[in-house]
Amino acid sequence: MKQQSKTSGPSQAENASTTQQQDDVQLSALEQEVVSLREQLRIALEREKRSLADYQNLVRRTQEERATLVKFANKDLCEALLQPLEHLSLAALSLHDKGLDMVLAQFWKELARFGLTEMEVLGKTFDVATMEVVEKRAKGERVIEVVRKGYLLSGEVLQHAQVILD
């Protein structure tokens, strides 16, 4: 009888070997799955970093564009108001009316609040970026007279000063 049981089924050593092989196959499959999951995680983290960087760039660009829009939002209005206000200022000089002077001062103050500033060019050396020469009386480069005032809006030239050079 003992011989029949030995020949009829696998031995304990064979069972242990088969179990070991199955364990090795399962372990190998699990190791491959871990490697695959680590690679998927690496890819997902890279994608997340790229998305975060894209979002931060979008926020920065949006803030820069908003600042630029705010900075120059009133450019057209200031350009349109400059000539009438300059003419009114010239009229006020000849009229000597305190009320008109006060209103003009308030206009200029409000425009300054939005970034409009007058360029100080009298007595300075000619600068092509901010001035236009109307007349040149000698070979000098000094501004001796301002024909039309120049203005900056938030540091950018809005109207070039028209000048006479000595």
Local confidence pLDDT in tens for the 166 residues of the chain: 445 445 556 677 777 788 889 988 999 999 999 999 999 999 999 999 999 999 999 999 999 999 888 777 888 889 999 999 999 999 999 999 999 999 999 999 999 998 999 999 999 999 999 999 999 998 889 999 999 999 999 899 999 999 999 9
Q: Residue 7: give the domain boundaries.
A: 2-71
Instruction: Check whether residue 122 and residue 89 sit in a common domain.
Output: yes
Indicate whether 106 and 156 sit together in one domain: yes
Domain endpoint, select from 20, 49, 71:
71
Distance of CA 12 to the CA centre of its chain: 75
> Residues 94, 109: one domain?
yes
Cα-to-chain-centroid distance, residue 84 = 34
- In whole angstroms, what is the distance from residue 122 CA to residue 145 CA? 6
Number of domain units in the chain: 2
Burial of 88 (0-12, 13-18, 19+ CB in 10 A): middle
Together in a domain, 99 and 128? yes
Single residue among 44, 71, 98 that ends a domain in this structure = 71
